[in-house]
Structure 1
Amino acid sequence: MEILTVFLAIISLFVIIGIGYIAQKVGILNHDRVHLISRILVNIAIPAITISSMQVSRTVATMSIVNNMLLVAGGYYIVAFLVSILICHFLPSTPTEKGVYQFMLVFPNTMFMGLPVASAVLGTGSLFYVILFNLPFNLLVFTMGVWLLAQGRPGKFDLTVMLSPGLVASVLGLSLFLAGFMLPAQVNAGLDLVGSTTTPLAMLVVGALLATLPVSQLAGDWRVKLITTFRLVIFPVIAYIALSPFVADKLLLGVAVLLIAMPVASNSVLLSEEYKVDSTLASQGVFLSTMLCLATIPILMSLV
């Protein structure tokens, strides 16, 4: 894959991030409006594109894709979780910082940035693969992710958070696919149209969130840089080396490496705020990894 092609595809997304950043700075997007857009994304746009992207015919080939992608995604999360325990055991941190560091290591931004970047870099045909990779993410981010952030805080974990629209849509979309049930064309077209707003809205939100951080605190200290190195470089390189001898489907390999190479999940900021841990640290991780992925993703994808 040409490195310039990938770079130009991602640059267009960063233009929208820049618009969101400026809109926040000049007051067009304030906290309440960003929160409203986030709710529209999480509760409407992303569930819509989740269902529509899984409206493909059930064949032997597609069932193979489902099995292989879920195996790859599940394997990644197991390995990333174990590595996060090892790294954070030696990383100097407070109890509240430790969970944030582990969350940043384990969870890439596979939804808000994964969907638009995969669409731009690999084409719309990659969205089915992206949604499949996000099935474990939607489950784990509200279970293991919340536990990492709020570990040791009794009463903070609420099982109802698992029933998010994203998780429900993932299960529904997968159920429809496995049952071989195709929605009426008009319904699917409507869902697809609503889901198409995910890319610009998600990038606006990322830009607006970054604009809330003081410039002097954006990059964080050496620990944030270490976590970012693992998130953007070490994890995807290991994934490519481990998967390339066994994965014949080049699109599946490309999507898996691309999603594992995504920056820190923006959920880290929202959940850190909710569970009263270090949301500033999470914001620094999101900012630094998001900025640096402009360089790391084109280089990595040129090798796939």
Structure 2
Amino acid sequence: MELITILIAIFSLFVIIGIGFAARRYGILNGDRVHLISHVLVNVALLAITISSMQVPDTAKTMGIVDSMLLVAGGYYLAAFLISILICQFLPSTPAEKGVFQFMLVFPNTMFMGIPVASAVLGPGSLFYVILFNLPFNFLVFTMGVWLLARGRPGKLDPKVLLSPGLVASFIGLALFLAGYMLPAPVDTGLELIGSATTPLAMLVVGALLATLPAARLAGDWRVYLVTAFRLVIIPVIAFLVLSPFITDRLVLGVAVLLIAMPVAANSVLLSEEYKVDSTLASQGVFLSTLLCLATIPILEYFLF
């Protein structure tokens, strides 16, 4: 039943990608409309889900869960960033492509796919851990992530690029989390509803961007396959080998490794489109890694857990 649930969760994303693909091919979504959707997602929906996902109850702090998960997540992002630098030193690419490849290596789809997959594999009790693991993601994607992408644009990098609405939302969410303040239910529910639009609309954008490519280029070139191999297999295995001697709680270990094994974050496409770098390359990475995780996630689950 676990495998069926995982497959349904992943295939549902491909259905939406297919709809976006068809909408672009039949002229429903043109380039301007795709960019507008991306702009709304980056500046509205992602902000809402960033703040909402940081609404973690105070009771967790007394259980010692928050500190351990934040330490694991922070350690992962630091290690993944260093790995991405090493890999991209030997990967032939333009400055813009290098930023996209590094983003793909560092940021997995921990929220949009992480929640349904973790629930299927590890049970509903894992979802709280998933939210905790996502706290650094929400902050780093609008700082490190934006920097990786924007520095590849022509000309000097404008520091104002980093002062994005997403970064402001991250600080707001983090301040609320540290203060232990829970938003009123109507506000939190409203933010969750807006944020829930992110996944389907992001997949529509992926499909629409892929529709501009010839069929032979949908999955990208060998570089996309190499980065995908690191994203889905090599980095998660390294994480398991490093973490397993130190983490005795199997649920914490399982959540961390499973989330690290997620495909490329859909944010790569949205932010690449927003900052006018290679969004097509990002779409190829999302498409290929999401497709191949149909095999890699069950295999990792079987051998590692």
Q: Pairwise mapping of residues 85-164 of structure 1 onto structure 2 (< 5 A)?
A: 85-111=85-111, 113-114=113-114, 129-149=129-149, 156-164=156-164
Letter in 1 for 2:257: V
Change (3 A) 1:213 1:4: same
Aligned counterpart, 2:12: 12
Farther-moved stretch of structure 1 (102-111 vs 21-30): 102-111
Distance apart, 1:226 and its partner CA: 1.2
The secondary structure found in structure 2 opposite 1:161 is helix
8 Å contact 1:116–1:198 — kept in the other structure? no
Give how far 1:229 is off.
0.5
Q: Deviations over 1:21-43 (max 9, x none)?
A: 22222222222333233233222
Deviation at residue 111 of structure 1 after TM alignment = 4.8
- Where does residue 57 of structure 1 map in the other structure? 57
- Aligned residues of 2:109 and 2:263 also touching (Cα < 8 A): yes
| SS of the residue 1:79 aligns to | helix
Verify the 8 A CA contact 1:103 1:149 in the aligned structure 2. yes
- Aligned counterpart, 2:260: 260
Alignment partner, residue 169 of structure 2: 169
Tell me how far apart the structure 2 counterparts of residues 21 and 62 of structure 1 sit (CA, whole Å). Answer: 47
Please state whether the residue corresponding to 1:183 is helix, strand or coil.
Answer: coil
Structure 1 counterpart of 2:36, one-letter code: L
Q: Does 1:31 align with 2:28?
A: no
Aligned twin of 2:214: 214
Cα pair 1:45 1:197 within 8 Å, conserved: yes
TM-aligned CA distance change 1:117 to 1:200, over 3 Å: farther
Deviates more, 1:161-170 or 1:218-227: 161-170
Q: Which residue of 2 aligns with 1:201?
A: 201
Conservation of the 8 A alpha-carbon contact between 2:143 and 2:167: no
1:22 paired residue number: 22
Distance 2:124 2:18 in 1: 24
CA offset at residue 76 of structure 1? 1.3
> Aligned partners of 1:195 and 1:272: how far apart in 2?
19
CA distance in structure 1 between the partners assigned to 2:197 and 2:282 by the alignment? 26
CA distance in 2, matches of 1:283, 1:71: 30
Report the CA distance shift for 1:93/1:169 in structure 2 as closer, same or farther (over 3 A). closer
Report the CA distance between 1:212 and its aligned residue: 2.7
The reply on whether 1:188 has 2:217 as its aligned counterpart is no
Identical columns (%): 78
Q: What is the CA–CA distance in structure 1 between the aligned matches of 2:224 and 2:47, rounded to whole Å?
A: 31
Q: Compute the TM-score of the two structures, normalised by the length of structure 2.
A: 0.81
Per the TM alignment, residue 230 of structure 1 is displaced from its structure 2 partner at its CA by 0.5
CA contact (8 A) 2:264 2:285 kept: yes
Counterpart in the other structure of 2:291: 291
Q: Which stretch of structure 1 is more off in the superposition, 164-173 or 93-102? A: 93-102
> In structure 1, how many angstroms separate the alpha carbons of the residues matched to 2:189 and 2:119?
17
Q: 1:279 to 1:29 in 2, by over 3 A?
A: closer
> What's the offset of the Cα at 1:13?
2.8
Count of paired positions? 304
What residue ranges of structure 2 are gaps of 5+ in the alignment? none
CA distance in 1, matches of 2:193, 2:269: 28
Tell me if structure 1 keeps the 8 A contact 2:104–2:264. Answer: yes
Normalising by structure 1, report the TM-score.
Answer: 0.81
The amino acid of 1:109's aligned partner reads N
Over 3 Å counting, the alpha-carbon distance change for 1:49 and 1:128 in structure 2 is farther
Which residue identity lines up with residue 173 of structure 1 in the other structure?
Answer: G
- Distance apart, 1:231 and its partner CA: 0.8
| CA positional deviation for 1:289 | 1.8
Q: CA RMSD in A?
A: 3.3
Say which SS state the counterpart of residue 220 (structure 1) adopts. Answer: coil
Q: Counterparts of 2:33 and 2:120 in 1: how far apart (Å)?
A: 26
CA contact (8 A) 1:10 1:120 kept: no
Q: How does 1:65-76 map to 2 (within 5 A)?
A: 65-76=65-76
Deviation at 1:248, TM superposition (A): 4.4
Work out whether residues 98 and 152 of structure 2, in 8 Å CA contact, stay in contact via their aligned partners in 1: no
Q: Is there any run of 5+ residues in structure 1 with no aligned partner, and where? A: none
Deviation at 1:262, TM superposition (A): 2.5
Distance 1:190 1:122 in 2: 28
